[in-house]
Structure 1
Amino acid sequence: MHALSQPITVVLVPLLTLLFHLAQDWGIAVLLLTLFVRLLLFPFSLRVARQQALQMKIKPELVSLRERYKDKPTDLIMETKKIYEKYGVKPMAMFTIALLQMPIFMAMYSLFITHGATMSSFLIPWVLTFAESDPWHVLPIVAASLACLTSFLPLSPGVGTTISTQQRILTALLMIPFFLLILWKAPVALCLYWIAGSLFGLLERLFYRTVWGKSLLNRKASAQV
């Protein structure tokens, strides 16, 4: 993973420095960098969202298949694959954003471990440098809570998810200790990056609830179903 993240770190350092010279604050520079990264990843995020919308639209056919082939698991797998191929559903596409964000996250971690000692911000006045972890653990808790909220919120009221509300609640709650474990002792700037990214993801989902968002989200799915 270090081999993947190192070239990204090399790019991020001058970019973050440039944003600092524009904003005159490292905290604001991190927020701007997060916005830049998320906008760069938006086409991939949209692709994942469209796949989710498409899976929701074909859910009745999948339920029918499960009922028809409930005693024939091999046939069920084959028929499900045919349905996916017919409508262009790519289950592995759901992990695209996670796979893309992982080396970026590792690059951010490396960046703030090596360069964070020279950075600080009025946004986080209770720490001296960005290389330190949050002694009050405020940012890790906020970051984990926002990640939980974003994962729980459906794409839109009409295009939600193929799993039940109870499953979504359980998944969201399990995410909190997972992210706390990752961020509890992480550099405080990494928590700031995660919070900004989660807020972007939350606004992204709220955008999909607007008329323009629904149109963008369903454009490809409607053409295939």
Structure 2
Amino acid sequence: MNPLVFPGVYAPQDDTALLTDALAAEPLRRGARVLDVGTGSGALALAAARRGTRVTAVDVSRRAVCTTRLNTWLAGRRVRVLRGNLFRPVAGESFDLILTNPPYVPAPAAEREPRGTARAWDAGRDGRMVLDRICRDAPALLAPGGVLLMVHSVLSGPHSTVGRLREAGLKAAVVERRWIAFGPVLRARQTWLRAQGLLSRTDEKEELVVIRAERPH
């Protein structure tokens, strides 16, 4: 069953599908503690819950929280759904797996915090406004042997993500790649992205990556 998506909530797209594939390839014991940060419609949280894990889903958007609660109820799955900014609602907790499909699209209006639906994708001029916070804060929430799976665009610098996670003591690498056609957001700002040198004149597709980072035992 495809999740319901309320107006103003990020609908599952190619990046969600790519991260779902990476999740399916990840060995998970029954009862493992899973955190889905920036859950949106709850699609990833539900995919994890179907494997018998204990899932917590977090989103800063009230609409996303309501959407996820409805979707998990309709699916008959128990998921703890919390509203808050990134890891604040789960401070001090520990997880075996952290999933995140964060905002990662470079945005020209970087001097302003994104509002409304744009919070799901706009992430500053370099696309790393949220990515760097995740790299900084996620390692402390991983249990020994715990794994972080994160999806984002090559426009946002996967090498920086891998480097920061390694500096935090994790084993990190790109494990999945997929080329996709530009969506509405990239199509709308491709002229600006080309002017910034983030796209070439001939680029018509965007490459997505999944980064896997593991905390040593």
TM range (shorter): under 0.3
Greater RCO, CA 8 A, separation 6+:
1
Structure with larger Rg? 1
Provide TM-score, normalisation by structure 2: 0.26
Provide TM-score, normalisation by structure 1: 0.25
Structure with higher helix content = 1
